[in-house]
Amino acid sequence: MELRYGLNPQQQPAHAVSVAPGPGPLRVLNGEPSYINLLDALAGWQLVREAAGALGRPAAASFKHVSPAGAALAGPVDADTAARYGLGTTAPGPLAGAYLRARDADPRSSYGDLAAVSHPVDEELAELLGGLVCDGIVAPGYAPGVLATLSRKRRGRFLVLEADPGYVPPAADSREEYGLRLSQARDDVPICAGLLTDVVCGELPRAAADDLLLGLAVVRHTQSNSVCYVRDGVTLGIGAGQQSRLDCTRLAGRKTHTWWMRRHPAVRAMEFRPEVRRQDRVNWQVRCAEGDLTPYEAEALRGVLAGPPPSAVLLPDGGERQAWRERLTGVAFASDGALPFADNVEHAARYGVRWIAEPGGSIRSDKVVEACERQGMTLVRTGLRLFRH
Instruction: Convert 36-71 to b/e letters by CB count within 10 Å (16 or more is b).
Output: bbbbbbbbbbbbbbbbbebbebbbbbbbbebbbbbb
257 catalytic? Reply is no
Considering 64, 119, 221, 257, which one is annotated as catalytic? Answer: 64
64 catalytic? Reply is yes
CA distance 287 to 298: 10
Nearest to 190 by CA among 4, 90, 30, 51: 51
- Sequence-distant (6+) residues with CB within 8 A of 345 are 339, 356, 368, 371, 372, 375, 377
CA distance 372 to 384: 20
Nearest to 199 by CA among 209, 211, 214, 189: 209
Considering 65, 283, 347, 367, which one is annotated as catalytic? Answer: 65
Nearest to 100 by CA among 243, 282, 229, 256: 282
Paired sense of beta strands 134-139 and 353-358, if any? unpaired
* Residue 6, amino acid: G
What's the distance, Cα to Cα, between the start and end of the chain in Å?
A: 24
Contact 310, 269 (CB under 8 A): yes
Nearest to 97 by CA among 125, 121, 119, 122: 125
CA distance 309 to 388: 43
255 catalytic? Reply is no
Considering 225, 257, 264, 344, which one is annotated as catalytic? Answer: 225
225 catalytic? Reply is yes
Q: Which helix (H) or strand (E) holds 125?
A: helix 123-130
Paired sense of beta strands 67-73 and 59-64, if any? antiparallel
Phi/psi at 38 (5° precision): -70, -40
Q: Which residues are annotated as catalytic?
A: 64-65, 225, 389
